[in-house]
Structure 1
Amino acid sequence: MGAGLGHARVIAHHGRVPAPDRPEGPALLPAILPAVLLLVVLGAAVLRPRNLPEAVFAVPAAGLVVATGAISLDHARAEAERLGPVIGFLAAVLVLAKLCDDEGVFRACGAWMARSARGNPKKLLTHVFVAASTITAALSLDATVVLLTPVVFATTAYVGARAKPHLYACAHLSNTASLLLPVSNLTNLLAFSATGLTFGRFALLMALPWAVAIAVEYAVFRRFFAADLVPAAPPEPDGDAPMPVFALAVVGATLAGFGIASAAGIDPAWVAAAGAAVLAVRALLRRETSPAAIVRSAAIPFLAFVLALGIVVRAVVDHGLDDLLGHVMPSGGGLVDLLAVAGLAALLANTVNNLPAVLVLAPLAAPHGAGPVLAVLLGVNIGPNLTYAGSLATLLWRRIVTDRGTAVGLGEFTRLAAAAVPATLTAAVVALWAALAVVGT
């Protein structure tokens, strides 16, 4: 989430984001440089050489595309203004999560989930799937990544279970389970108006693909992590964690406010900021934190990376990517066409990130009906599980997990992705095709 419905309506009304003038003559460097820099930035985000922040590579790349004229200063400024709500939302949610951690919310929630799982890692995985799917669908994927992932850390430690299956579930479901509602993901918000559907019919058409995708993911996880879902010797219990009632009330009000704000056309960033401000003021008055600690929890280098990535991607799009995709976009609404659209969207999401992918593809798919637009959403929401760089949620999840001392190996991540993504995406597209045939648009 992070941007309101207004921008999505602008896209739907005009058909597509206005493209700037293409470079004329032999201006080869400005045309090729953005694509090269994008590959460098995404590669550095995945590999993180010397554990350097992603922004170390992305910010200079953004400056270079502006300095060389690959993107005009006006268009760079416009991209920054468009991404401003996204960045503001991320910052507010990160601060909120850190303050909740200080209040003991994650420890208390982890203890509760551990008791409900009764020491069974398989049952715990089921609970994580249910929780992550519900939170992502109703409260946005950011809530799953930022709020639920630390809960899973605490819960697996309490149960004595191996953390990997449950942590990977948070990452995958933050993307896969964001299919259900227009407010579940920023990609959905940006494409919602282009579908021409009402809120209810959008949810009705996506309900079956959402349920099928989650079911396939669960089956893959049970098989892939079979060796990790065995009971281990739990640590000595240290008693029930005290329930942080005030912090939980603030979190509950904040999460509920996301849906209300989106329906009212209010940017969810303001709701997240209000929740963070309430906890911050309380913690400062009680001298449980400091202004410097609050600023650090906003992860400013990561926010700079998001902004810089958007500018680099905009430069790539400005130099013909949207025109190229317009020539290969299928024009039908049959099963084969929907599979092709979803596959194209997944490929593009893993190449340039799912946010720019939906901005490019949704207007191209809209003239062919709601079905192809919904297929684009299947591709840009499920497809990003294939690589770290596919979505901001996955990059943010990786940052949270590694900061807490858990290694995320590229090989294991890729093997799980290869097992889960093709099967999940194919099954979801077939389910969408069936839903379109039964419900209609």
Structure 2
Amino acid sequence: MGRTNPACTPEGRTLSPALATTLSAVLLVAVLAGAVIRPFGLPEATVAVPAAALLMATGAVPLDHARAEAELLGPVVGFLAAVLVLAKLCDDEGLFQACGAWLARTSKGRPQRLLAANFLLASVVTAVLSLDATVVLLTPVVFATVARLGARPKPHVYACAHLSNTASLLLPVSNLTNLLAFTASGLSFTRFALLMGPAWVVAVGAEYLVFRRFFAADLKTDPLRADTTEAEPVDVPVFALVTVACTLAGFVVTSALGVEPAWAALAGALVLAVRALAHGRTTPLAVVRAASVPFLAFVLALGIVVRAVVDNGLSDALGHLVPDSAGLPALLGIAVLAAVLANLINNLPAVLVLLPLAAAGGPGPLLAVLLGVNIGPNLTYAGSLATLLWRRIVHQHDHEVELGEFTRLGLLTVPATLVPAVAALWVSLTVFGT
């Protein structure tokens, strides 16, 4: 994506390059600020959609470029909608209630074991059902579990925030950023997971070691209260687990056939929706709400706003900073650049900006971008939409998040996680190739 010449509106008027650049940048800042602040509780799309419309109306982004961006993001948005519905229906089936009972039993009254179990559970939920499920559905369960056991909530709740980002490296379906890179990389579903698997394991492990040290005082408390779940057994939602497993298998099959993974996600969501409707556990309106249509509109509109920024100079400014090789220093440089950009403009715009620039170097640089935009946001609240959403959920549970503590933890975890993850990716690329 190169910089365009002065943009023409449908009426034939033009914007000077300087004005188009300024307007694009100002509106991107406004869109991100709207997503962070959400004035009066309005959805993120409230600012993003008018901003995208204004950029198209003024010609700051040509209509054919906006259409191309919408076509690129269309399958991604469709997949996101299906996964959001799938995760919510799994919750309705009792999957996350069962997860809370498993956490309590596995802890055996020890805070350290509870943290380890939470890391394992949050990593799997994030990888399989996407980071949104960890933030929206698992975090409240963790709050309830630690309250029942008498544990200090801070390490366990912070783990949900960090792992919603870090643990989303494994599969193309774990994160919206992954799906964008997956589409651009030309890799198969299984090849993506093979290359990112070692980085995922290393990143989660490094994160856990930092958490054990950072929250040592919180984890050296008296033994937890006896678990009450043995007296109140929770049924394992076998149907939901089998549906999720079949959906994952569907991702592999659709990838092999060259079909969008959104169809596999839609199939899984439909199976659970039909069952839930038949048993009266949900309504058609609730299913539609679970898809979070305003957020989907926000993603599309944000893509168009970012395209305007890229067209009007950002691509040229960053182009010389992105190496086009897959050597270890180049991969580390790309990952660091992506992490910095994610904290400046949020990880979703960052990946939309960097993917076209990194694509020239092949799948390796694209995957390094993912390491940066998925791990880097643990440094600041605004680094990812998942962290912003997590912060709102934490406040709803009357738990304070201290900016200084959050930042100190991020300053420790991000470098300790990102560097070995990049090294693991480089080893994967060297051993398995692309």
Which TM-score applies when normalising by structure 1? 0.81
User: Shift of residue 160 of structure 1?
Assistant: 3.4
Aligned to 1:313: 306
Alignment pair present for 1:264 and 2:254: no
Q: Give secondary structure in 2 for the equivalent of 1:296.
A: helix
Aligned to 2:267: 274
Aligned to 1:84: 74
Judged with a 3 Å threshold, the aligned counterparts in structure 2 of structure 1 residues 298 and 181 are, in CA distance, closer, same or farther, namely closer
1:380 alignment partner AA: V
Deviations 1:306-346 (A, max 9, x none): 22222211111111211211122245655444332221111
User: Shift of residue 239 of structure 1?
Assistant: 0.7
User: Shift of residue 281 of structure 1?
Assistant: 2.3
User: Shift of residue 35 of structure 1?
Assistant: 1.0
CA contact (8 A) 2:2 2:316 kept: no
CA contact (8 A) 1:280 1:294 kept: yes
Aligned to 2:11: none
Q: Give secondary structure in 2 for the equivalent of 1:328.
A: coil
Q: Give secondary structure in 1 for the equivalent of 2:320.
A: helix
**After superposition, where does 1:155-170 map in structure 2 within 5 Å?**
155-170=145-160
- Between 1:102-111 and 1:198-207, the stretch displaced more is 198-207
- Between 1:321-330 and 1:148-157, the stretch displaced more is 148-157
Aligned to 2:358: 365
Q: Distance in 2 between matches of 1:383 and 1:430?
A: 16
- Between 1:89-98 and 1:135-144, the stretch displaced more is 135-144
Alignment pair present for 1:64 and 2:54: yes
Aligned to 1:346: 339
- Pick aligned residue for 1:95 from 68, 80, 85: 85
User: Shift of residue 115 of structure 1?
Assistant: 1.0
Calculate percent identity across the aligned residue pairs: 67
Judged with a 3 Å threshold, the aligned counterparts in structure 2 of structure 1 residues 227 and 65 are, in CA distance, closer, same or farther, namely farther
Aligned to 1:48: 38
Alignment pair present for 1:113 and 2:103: yes
- Between 1:234-243 and 1:90-99, the stretch displaced more is 234-243
Aligned to 1:127: 117
1:36 alignment partner AA: V
Q: Distance in 1 between matches of 2:269 and 2:152?
A: 32
Q: Distance in 1 between matches of 2:408 and 2:432?
A: 36
Deviations 1:16-36 (A, max 9, x none): x57755548734332211211
Give aligned pairs, total. Answer: 425
CA contact (8 A) 2:203 2:420 kept: yes
Aligned to 2:369: 376
User: Shift of residue 150 of structure 1?
Assistant: 5.0
Deviations 1:5-57 (A, max 9, x none): xxxxxxxxxxxx57755548734332211211212222232233444432232
Task: Give unpaired runs (5+ residues) of structure 2.
Answer: 8-13
CA contact (8 A) 1:139 1:255 kept: no
User: Shift of residue 399 of structure 1?
Assistant: 5.6
Aligned to 2:410: 417
CA contact (8 A) 1:93 1:146 kept: no
CA contact (8 A) 2:52 2:305 kept: yes
Q: Distance in 1 between matches of 2:289 and 2:187?
A: 41
CA contact (8 A) 1:160 1:235 kept: no
Q: Give secondary structure in 2 for the equivalent of 1:240.
A: coil
Q: Distance in 1 between matches of 2:157 and 2:259?
A: 32
- Pick aligned residue for 1:219 from 202, 209, 225: 209
Judged with a 3 Å threshold, the aligned counterparts in structure 2 of structure 1 residues 141 and 264 are, in CA distance, closer, same or farther, namely farther
Deviations 1:351-394 (A, max 9, x none): 33434433443443344465544432321221122234433444
User: Shift of residue 422 of structure 1?
Assistant: 2.2
Q: Distance in 1 between matches of 2:280 and 2:74?
A: 31
Deviations 1:175-230 (A, max 9, x none): 32333455554544544587687777765654443333222211111122233333
Deviations 1:40-86 (A, max 9, x none): 22223223344443223222322222233222333323322322222
Aligned to 1:245: 238
Judged with a 3 Å threshold, the aligned counterparts in structure 2 of structure 1 residues 153 and 83 are, in CA distance, closer, same or farther, namely farther
1:167 alignment partner AA: V
Q: Distance in 1 between matches of 2:89 and 2:195?
A: 38
**After superposition, where does 1:399-438 map in structure 2 within 5 Å?**
408=401, 410-433=403-426
Task: Give unpaired runs (5+ residues) of structure 1.
Answer: 1-16
Judged with a 3 Å threshold, the aligned counterparts in structure 2 of structure 1 residues 405 and 383 are, in CA distance, closer, same or farther, namely same
| CA RMSD between the two structures | 3.4
Which TM-score applies when normalising by structure 2? 0.83
